Amino acid sequence: MKLRELGEDRLLARLLPALPIHSGVIAGAGDDCAIVDGPKKGNLLVLKTDCLVERIHFKASADPALVGWKAMMRPLSDFAAVSGLPEFALITLIVPATKSLSWVEKLCRGTRRAASRFSVSIVGGETSSATGPTAISVSVAGFVERKRFVTRRGGKPGDPLFVSGRLGGALRGKHLRFMPRIEESRWLTANFRVHAMMDLSDGLGADLPRLAKASKVGFKIDVEQLPLASGATIAGAISDGEDYELLFAVSARDSARLQAIWKRRFPRLALTQIGSLNRRSKIENRKLSSGYVHFQ
Amino acid sequence: MKLRELGEDRLLARLLPALPIHSGVIAGAGDDCAIVDGPKKGNLLVLKTDCLVERIHFKASADPALVGWKAMMRPLSDFAAVSGLPEFALITLIVPATKSLSWVEKLCRGTRRAASRFSVSIVGGETSSATGPTAISVSVAGFVERKRFVTRRGGKPGDPLFVSGRLGGALRGKHLRFMPRIEESRWLTANFRVHAMMDLSDGLGADLPRLAKASKVGFKIDVEQLPLASGATIAGAISDGEDYELLFAVSARDSARLQAIWKRRFPRLALTQIGSLNRRSKIENRKLSSGYVHFQ
């Protein structure tokens, strides 16, 4: 059945009952606003929005359940970047009326599965018809302890630089199936002083210079040491993008202890020191080409 | 200049410095997530997202500053519906790379002006190119006192029904220039026990049955008493939509006092009793035709 034959009210009647709702939700989808418990005293509110657009971020032929998964997991990866815990999501679905109900239901199933993986409640959203490609926008609210959030800004000269997992080749499949490193990020900030952190979405070559710039430092990496995904090249590890791994800087004196206990805590996820931050130095930074840039 | 020639980083460099930022913002646009002060103790978090799509919600020829205004004010009207105070907004802009920089800058100016009108900080967002029509999605976070929020659910048989302002004919201009009734809604909940409330976006004929259904009551309205906008018909007041006025039910014993002091407090905005809630009665409700329904 096409959405055009169904109408918005009946579409919502199909989609809303299945939404995951956890504690703290006082009014959710179907009300004018979501009304939820705020963060506990001493915690900060964390907000993030992200969108996927057909033909830009996914092919029309992509499995809708994986598109839904990715639409939810992308903003959650940003929560990992700041060491926040996501709690509530709003979903906006802009979809042509010619799309089938079953396509939309599969998309929503993927979104729900992703939300449930991190105990996120879906508390509202918006559907709109459109004359163009499908777009899914997900906004997430959550919290982080006031003494525990991390930005890109705190890196210092001499800090070793680490990445989780393996880089490159994500477009062969990982970009639709990745797992945000929230657990790893929360563990890091519970056990170490993380100076600066971000998630790698545009590729190390685009993202690392952003972290360095925000921290007002330079960097030096050994491209031969980059942890490559199976089949990926060094060039791909630098500029393919969509790795959704953590890039972070800690104090040099934490480096050995971090590597030792990471291996015990996350035996199946690589942790690699790829280089270090240093005083700003334009020459060494030229090695990195830029990643994917929108509108160009 | 077209966005295609500019690239995302340079577009953001143009747009970000002008964003309105108020107190409570620890990390904003340009960081992985927005990190902000949560609601004060005893207050609840309020979340809302809404989107505008070209050709569905506005014409390609519409003034971009007014489109930006509307994109921000629509979710703020939902804050009025629950008597919440908006604080932080995230903006997602999906726009073809062939669009001009000046169009996007005008759109953002309208969005900023609307946000500033209610002291809302714009703390992040997302831009994406697209092959289809422009879409703008705005997500807003704010708060409401735990003892003060209103939903559609608390209406009781016998409650008089009120609307603010005048209904109908919004498509002749008001739909791009409306003012969310946040001030009025906050005043109402500070001074009266509002049983149920919502904002009129799809037209009284579609929205009132939703409020009645959520409250598990029926309703009776006198269509001759509807406050008509200049040039609007009764039919238009019922089904044009996009009025963004408040529809609410209070206790019958508050009715006279409400009407007397509203007139002094908001002398330039009409307040009209349009009918009342009653025990469920299907016959009387048939008078209202339905409003605008998406996907049909």
pLDDT level of residue A293 (50, 70, 90 thresholds):
very low
Q: How far is B161 from chain A (nearest CA, A)?
A: 18
Please identify among residues 226-265 of chain B the ones whose CB lies closer than 8 Å to any CB of chain A.
Answer: none
Half-sphere exposure of B3 (CA within 13 A, CB side): 25
The reply to whether residue B51 touches residue A126, judged by beta carbons under 8 angstroms, is yes
Task: For residue A288, name the pLDDT band (cuts at 50, 70, 90).
Answer: low
Mean pLDDT, chain A, rounded, equals: 91
Nearest-CA neighbor of B150 among B71, B291, B262, B44? B44
Please give the model's pTM, rounded to 2 decimal places. Answer: 0.92
Specify the higher pLDDT residue, B238 or B7.
Answer: B238
- Put simply, the answer to whether A92 touches B128 (Cβ < 8 Å) is no
d(CA A41, CA A45): 11
Q: What number of other Cβ atoms are within 10 A of residue A9's Cβ? A: 14
CB contact under 8 A, B90 and A294: no
pLDDT per residue as tens digits for the range B202-254: 999 999 999 999 999 999 998 988 999 999 999 999 999 999 999 999 999 99
A287 band by pLDDT with thresholds 50, 70 and 90? low
* Backbone CA torsion sign across B121, B123, B127, B132: negative
Chain B contact present for A60, CB below 8 A: no
Q: Tokens in use for B91?
A: 């903006």
Is B129 in contact with A56 (Cβ distance < 8 A)?
yes
The CA-based diameter of chain B, rounded to the nearest angstrom, is 63
Nearest CA in chain B to A153: B31
Give the pLDDT confidence score for residue B122 in this predicted structure.
95
- 3-state helix/strand/coil string of chain A: CEHHHHCHHHHHHHHHHHCCCCCCEEECECECCEEEECCCCCEEEEEEEEEEEECCCECCCCCHHHHHHHHHHHHHHHHHHHCCEEEEEEEEEEEECCCEHHHHHHHHHHHHHHHHHCCCEEEEEEEEEECCCCEEEEEEEEEEECCCCCCCCCCCCCCEEEEECCECCHHHCHHHHCCCCHHHHHHHHHHCCEEEEEECCCCHHHHHHHHHHHHCCEEEECHHHCCECCCCCHHHHHHCCCCCCEEEEECHHHHHHHHHHHHHHCCCCCEEEEEEEECCCHHHHCCCCCCCCCCC
Residue B222 to chain A, least CA–CA distance (Å): 25
Mark yes or no for CB contact A129/B45 under 8 Å. Answer: no
Residues of B in Cβ contact (< 8 Å) with A48: 32-34, 90, 124
Q: What length is written for chain B?
A: 296
Backbone angles phi, psi at B30, to 5 degrees: 105, -25
ipTM of predicted complex: 0.90
Does the beta-carbon distance from A128 to B48 stay under 8 Å?
no
List, for residues A27-52, the tens digit of each pLDDT value: 888 888 999 998 888 899 999 999 99
Token match 């976006």: residue?
Answer: B201
Picking from B36, B49, B83 by the largest number of A CB atoms within 10 A of its own CB, the best residue to mutate is B49
CB within 8 Å: A56 and B149: no
- B9 or A150, which is more confident: A150
pLDDT for position A291: 45
Lateral strand order in the sheet of B121-128: A25-27, A34-37, B43-53, B135-145, B85-94, B121-128
Q: Which of B37, B47, B133 sits opposite A141 (nearest CB)?
A: B47
- Per-residue pLDDT tens over the stretch B248-271: 999 999 999 999 999 999 999 999
Q: Tell whether A56 lies on the interface with B, counting CB pairs under 8 A.
A: yes
Q: Are B237 and B168 in contact (CB under 8 A)?
A: yes
Q: What is the tens place of the pLDDT at every residue in B106-154? A: 999 999 999 999 999 999 998 998 888 999 999 999 999 999 999 999 9
